[in-house]
Amino acid sequence: MTATTRLWCEYALLPDGLAEHATIDIVDGRIDAIEVGTPRHPDGHRRSGLTIPGAANAHSHAFHRALRHRSQLGRGSFWTWREQMYAIAAALDPDTYHRLARAVFAEMVLAGYTTVGEFHYVHHTPGGRPYADPNAMADALTEAAADTGIRLTLLDTVYLHGGLGGDGYLPLSDRQRRFGDRSIDAWAERVSALPVDERRRVGAAIHSIRAVDPDAIAVVAGWAARRGAPLHAHVSEQPAENEQCLVTHGCTPVELLARHGAFDAAFTAVHATHLTERDITLLGEAGATVGLCPTTERDLGDGVGPARRLADAGVVLAIGSDSHAVIEPLEEARAIELDERLVRGERGCFTAADLFAATTAGHAALGWDDVGAIAVGQRADLVTMALDSPRTAGCSADSLVEAVVFAATSADVTHVMIDGRDIVEFGQHDRIDVAAELAAAIAEVVE
């Protein structure tokens, strides 16, 4: 049976700009027709405010959400934060991971994310022994996403080594054993056994050049290229990573990845905070995406990435919430501009339209080319933002997009539709008490 829905939007952000009084017809989850300047139809669902395309979270570690408040005590750095992360990871099993990820993915939907790329590296039991089903943890994430309605790309992550030292690659520590497969071939065997599942797409991820050696980089890049699958990697998040790579390999992480075929796949460099000009050129020449995670990067003291220089070089910019210091797609987007202002001492480095584009670019980077715009033929992923909240009240049509980009938050999200189905109505998830589930799930994994 054909499912049809008609929405009447007070304002809608279309590919060619802002439209007033737009009627959107949706058939079987896709946009079938758009008409602008229409009176409200008697049979239409009204969307007061601004309706925008659903955002893509290009980089998520769901279990890091349990650290949000606990990591704010005392001083430290990325490396001290990592010790807290290991403790949370040790408490996960398929059941607790499912409940935690379900709550976190639901929080994402409430905020206006409709697709998530889960950079998944907690594969095995704490001692490193595979579960009876070697992909039990991946299945837990898949079920969690399906429960919440969010679209999932599972980025199954290679993690073979414990870091780089003076003599090369270090073995996995006891706390890292559950992240690693026995070898790159064992990783490929396990991931290739993941069944086809209409609820997810499967891509590959290189955890970092600290955890994956050059020969393994080539294998995972080839695996992704043969399947036309997304390939993501943490890149130059910390200066120490660059220094270790220069000592061991005589090049930067970007150069190492390029030398060993990573740029032959649909590549996304996550963070890319500490880059050389040569790195930026290589990423631009490859037409790569960079997944910026400004709220995490500032939370961990990582630094500010060269967003404007990357964009000028032809790199596509996307956003991710990474460790979920907050889950706010518009905050990630505006931070790209606001951080540039702090570095450059000038305003207007990116337009509001540029920043909106960063919220949707992750769909393609995660392997979903038919979502991310309010256009005929696209999947109907639609998010409506209130224009009468304390944050957005007083905006006018000539600056409405700017008002939403630079001031609105997840509290202003009134409706979220994914594949033509209403998941959030009037700020409430259709099946999940998000705050209650977050509290319960986090309590299970925190001592």
* Count of beta carbons in the 10 Å neighbourhood of residue 313: 18
Residues annotated as catalytic are 271, 322
The SS3 assignment for 141 reads helix
The SS3 assignment for 186 reads helix
**One-letter-per-residue 3-state SS of the chain:** CCCEEEEEEEEEEECCEEEEEEEEEEECCEEEEEEECCCCCCCCEEEEEEEEECEEEEEECHHHHHHCCHHHCCCCCHHHHHHHHHHHHHCCCHHHHHHHHHHHHHHHHHHCEEEEEEEECCCCCCCCCCCCCCCHHHHHHHHHHHHHCCEEEEEEEECCCCEEECCEEECCCHHHHHHCCCCHHHHHHHHHCCCCCCCEEEEEEECCCCCCCHHHHHHHHHHHHHHCCEEEEEECCCHHHHHHHHHHHCCCHHHHHHHCCHHHCEEEEEECCCCCHHHHHHHHHHCCEEEECHHHHHHCCCCCCCHHHHHHCCCEEEECCECCCCCCHHHHHHHHHHHHHHHHCCCCCCCHHHHHHHHHCHHHHCCCCCCCCCCCCCECCEEEECCCCCCCCCCCHHHHHHHHHHHCCHHHEEEEEECCEEEEECCEECCCCHHHHHHHHHHHHCC
Cβ atoms of residues 254 and 235 within 8 Å = yes
